[in-house]
Amino acid sequence: MSDSRLTVFKTYKLYVGGKFPRSESGRVYKVSDPEGKWLANVPQSSRKDARDAVVAARKAFGGWSGATAYNRGQILYRVAEMLEGRREQFAREVADAEGLAESEAEAVVDAAVDRWVWYAGWTDKIGQVVGGANPVAGPFFNLSTPEPTGVVAVLAPQESSLLGLVSVIAPVIATGNTAVVVASAARPLPALSLGEVLATSDLPGGVVNILSGRTAELAAPLASHQDVNAIDLTGAAGDAASAKELEAAAADNLKRVRRPRPANGGGDGEDWTADPGTHRLTAFLETKTVWHPTGALGAAGSSY
Amino acid sequence: MAFAFDYAPAPESRSVVDIAPSYGLFIDGEFTEAADGKVFKTLSPSTEEVLSEVAQAGAEDVDRAVRAARKAFGKWSALPGTERAKYLFRIARIIQERSRELAVLETLDNGKPIRETRDADLPLVAAHFFYYAGWADKLGHAGYGPDPRPLGVAGQIIPWNFPLLMLAWKIAPALATGNTVVLKPAETTPLSALFFADICRQAGLPKGVVNILTGYGDAGSALVAHPDVNKVAFTGSTAVGKDIARRIAGTDKRATLELGGKGANIVFDDAPVDQAVEGIVTGIFFNQGQVCCAGSRLLVQESVHDEVLDALKRRLTTLRLGDPLDKNTDIGAINSAQQLARITALAETGEAEGAERWTAPCELPSSGYWFAPTLFTGVSQAHTIARDEIFGPVLSVLTFRTPDEAVAKANNSQYGLSAGIWTEKGSRILAVAGKLRAGVVWANTFNKFDPTSPFGGYKESGHGREGGRHGLEAYLDV
């Protein structure tokens, strides 16, 4: 390849409803690496973009929550496959976003791939772990089953642009919810590229919607949106006052709220390399308990 | 409709319960007056007779009770699980021993029929303590890690519709997991919680582990706001639940909220009509309809609407309304004048908006707070009585043609607590139950409860689950 060849820049776009729109506002903002070198102009989403994303997520909810857990697991695993195939691209983007050395960034991407695989395996197991038959004192068949809560707004971690991002999205959709994700404000490029991975992973459009922009501007309308069922405030970890306001706004329709881990002086407040456990899966699950009479046959319990 | 013969009165004796003329707050194992000396009276809703006078807690009393609970927390949480379990087993046994007394007391203070306090409330209260007693020494096996820790001091606020049962739902899991509690019963039904305080003393429960503050909303509000409360458990209205969620925002306080409901009871055309009618009656007239998970919206398939309604009206004419202490009484008194006014106003709204009202023919006693079983037909989804929780013996009847329409109408609510399905077809039960956005679905039965079974709502019916293994999570640091 000739040294004089000019590279082709990528126009970063949002990922909403399975499509790649620009922000309806027409706004973009500059994204730079930690040294201040310009990387790209990315869409600065508006409140309208956030509302559009909720509509897309709601539309996708019926199909995604109704898919079999096995099918969801297949698709999540497919995401891992697609991400693995783009390892170099993501390593570069993560290195640029987080100021990491090449090998460190590769380790981050590997961990992100592994995290998709971990959650892919959970889709058809969580129901057995947290649900089950209840031995009630009466002639009833009584079963508790976990079900997705609905549309979940996710404020992605501000620092961990890929591993943290994957760690908050995968558990939400593994359990059958759909997500509206607000990417890290300063480090959105891996998130916007992840949209491209999701779009080619058999994931139905609208299951994950990714917005870039100012977190505070997008979080407020999502926290008060009456058709959002839950909000993950992880990305507000560095701003306790804002997290409190968002939680209070979420009370208007009693959204499930996942509070951020306190992060003194900014950051995510989380160790994304640690074993994730099941917390992020159960945080966005409801429990439905169904009762049915068994009848009380005279022969039940008789000797044979 | 005339009866062939009347029932002879069969009143349960009041002599099994000894209500003192006045009660104090139960703080740190002692009964004590409110700091500012305030008191209020509690009435029997069926006669408006004053039963007793109880202390009215204020912010200072809340602080005292929370400090007592904090002081007790260290030792209580450090007890081996087997020891905590034995205290809970003791409490369960004493409740069983004093079950008759507590049933009569609850009926007097709440107005609900003795048939329900005796056969539903009290057995379930004892069962809850037994169930959670058994968890106390098995917490490492509950799926919340090998050594889950308690949260600390739990502030618990309960409603007036099931005073003792809601107390059991709150206190049993809290104590089993090693928390200490400050509980505020509703202002119209304070007595059974105070009797429970005496049970704690009989059981030898360490001082300060359970504290009972009788009082009004301001005391509940102070409890929620207290900086040394780690966990808020609330059962009550959605409006108050939202307020609590707002006020604990940005704090470390955990919360479980069991709020309102507008349950859909769906009757398909192949349902056995007589059984469905019994289920409809249980769904909306149990406890005078003052149940958050009541089946207050009846969705009947159009083809059987007339048949079901005829059978339902026929059944309602046989319900006996009157003295709650009479063992033959089905429908007791509404809990308070305020609640009666709310039910009355909402029923009038139903008429004003054009729904057709039918009221069971029964004579209402001259004193006390009463509302005859009532149903509205011709109700649309836009009607106030199809959307707002009435919390009284008022049923709104809607129709549907297809299962999809039934599901869409059932889910068309801000609430998501309960639902019922009546059909002979098993696959239809599973299909419909799967699509309903509700925490509890009763198929071919209604209003069944059990300590092993998680209970709680979707959407604006609240956060979290009570009962079962799931109920432990709310009191553990997980």
Q: What is the pLDDT of residues A88-121, one digit of tens each?
A: 999 999 999 999 999 999 999 999 999 999 999 9
Per domain, the residue ranges of chain B are 22-259+461-477, 264-443
What's the whole-model pTM score? 0.95
Q: How confident is the model at residue A265 (pLDDT cuts 50, 70, 90)?
A: low
Residues within 8 A of B (CB atoms), A 223-252 only: 229, 240-241, 243-245, 247-248, 250-252
Per-residue model confidence as pLDDT tens digits over A165-220: 999 999 999 999 999 999 999 999 999 999 999 999 999 999 999 999 999 999 99
Whole-number Å distance between alpha carbons of A282 and A263:
23
The confidence score (pLDDT) of residue A55 equals 98
Q: How confident is the model at residue A43 (pLDDT cuts 50, 70, 90)?
A: very high
Nearest CA in chain B to A129: B143
Per-residue model confidence as pLDDT tens digits over A235-253: 999 999 999 999 999 999 9
Give B315 to chain A, closest Cα distance, Å. Answer: 22
A-chain residues near B259 (CB < 8 A):
254
Q: How many CB pairs under 8 A join A and B?
A: 106
Contacts (Cβ under 8 Å, ≥6 apart) of B102? B17, B95, B117, B122, B125, B164, B192, B195
| Beta bridge pairs of residue B41 | B53
B241, B429, B443 member nearest A254 (Cβ): B241
Are B448 and A138 inside 8 Å of each other by CB? yes
Q: Residue B119 gets which letter from DSSP?
A: I
Nearest to B216, CA basis, from B179, B189, B182: B189
The confidence score (pLDDT) of residue A23 equals 98
Q: How confident is the model at residue A267 (pLDDT cuts 50, 70, 90)?
A: confident
Interface test with A, best of B450, B469, B477 (most A CBs within 10 A): B450
Q: Does A135 touch chain B (CB under 8 A)?
A: yes
B-chain residues near A225 (CB < 8 A):
none
Contacts (Cβ under 8 Å, ≥6 apart) of B58? B34, B35, B36, B38, B215, B218, B219, B222
A-chain residues near B452 (CB < 8 A):
134-137, 142
Q: Look up the ipTM and state it.
A: 0.94
Q: Does B460 touch chain A (CB under 8 A)?
A: yes
Interface test with A, best of B258, B422, B458 (most A CBs within 10 A): B458
Q: Does B476 touch chain A (CB under 8 A)?
A: no
Of A126-130, A262-266, B77-81, B169-173, minimum mean pLDDT range: A262-266
Q: What percent of chain A has pLDDT over 90?
A: 93
Q: How confident is the model at residue A303 (pLDDT cuts 50, 70, 90)?
A: low
**pLDDT score of A301 more than 70:** no
**pLDDT score of A304 more than 60:** no
Does the structural domain B22-259+461-477 have CATH classification 3.30.420.40?
A: no
Is residue B364 a contact partner of residue B372, using CB atoms and an 8 Å limit? yes
B242, B429, B470 member nearest A251 (Cβ): B242
Q: Does B468 touch chain A (CB under 8 A)?
A: yes
Q: Does A294 touch chain B (CB under 8 A)?
A: no
In the structure encoding, which two tokens stand for residue A80, read together? 């891992």
| CATH for the stretch B264-443 | 3.40.309.10
Per-residue model confidence as pLDDT tens digits over B249-289: 999 999 999 999 999 999 999 999 999 999 999 999 999 99
Nearest to B311, CA basis, from B294, B298, B327, B293: B298
**pLDDT score of A2 more than 60:** no
Nearest CA in chain A to B468: A134
Whole-number Å distance between alpha carbons of B127 and B93:
10
For A175, B30, B218, B398, the CA distances from B382, given in Å and listed in that order, are: 33, 52, 35, 11
Question: Among all residues of B, which ones are annotated catalytic?
Answer: 258, 292
Q: Does A261 touch chain B (CB under 8 A)?
A: no
Average pLDDT, consecutive stretches of 10 residues, N- to C-terminus, chain B (478 residues)? 73 96 98 98 98 98 98 98 98 98 98 98 98 98 95 98 98 98 98 98 98 98 98 98 98 98 98 97 97 98 98 97 97 98 98 98 96 98 97 98 98 98 97 98 98 98 97 96
Whole-number Å distance between alpha carbons of B9 and A156:
67
Are B470 and A243 inside 8 Å of each other by CB? no
Are A289 and B450 inside 8 Å of each other by CB? no
Sign of CA dihedral B277, B282, B288, B289: negative
Residues within 8 A of A (CB atoms), B 122-181 only: 127, 143
What domains sit in chain A, N to C, each tagged with a CATH number? 28-293 (3.40.605.10)
Nearest CA in chain A to B460: A254
Q: How confident is the model at residue A263 (pLDDT cuts 50, 70, 90)?
A: confident
**pLDDT score of A71 more than 60:** yes
Are B452 and A240 inside 8 Å of each other by CB? no
Whole-number Å distance between alpha carbons of B318 and B380:
28
Q: Do the domains spanning B22-259+461-477 and B264-443 agree at the CATH topology level?
A: no
Give B19 to chain A, closest Cα distance, Å. Answer: 33
A-chain residues near B143 (CB < 8 A):
129-130
